[in-house]
Amino acid sequence: MKKALIIVLTLLVVSLTAYGDPFEKKSDNGRVLQGRVTDRQEGALANAVVYLTNTRTRAVKTYIVGQDGGYRFPSLSPNIDYEVYAQFNGKKSDTKTVSQFDNRPQVNINLKVDTK
Whole-model pTM over 0.85: no
**Residue 109: HSE in the Cβ half-sphere, 13 Å Cα cutoff:** 23
> Within 10 Å of residue 98's Cβ, how many Cβ atoms?
20
Residue closest to 92 by CA, chosen among 59, 60, 114, 73:
114
Tell me the pLDDT tens digit for each residue of 67-111.
999 999 999 999 999 999 999 999 999 999 999 999 999 999 999
Residue closest to 97 by CA, chosen among 109, 79, 115, 112:
109
CATH of 31-112, one of 3.40.50.300, 1.10.10.410, 3.40.50.1000, 2.60.40.1120: 2.60.40.1120
- Is 23's pLDDT higher than 60? no
Euclidean distance between CA atoms 41 and 105, whole angstroms:
29
Euclidean distance between CA atoms 54 and 84, whole angstroms:
9
Euclidean distance between CA atoms 6 and 22, whole angstroms:
21
Q: Which DSSP state fits 28?
A: -
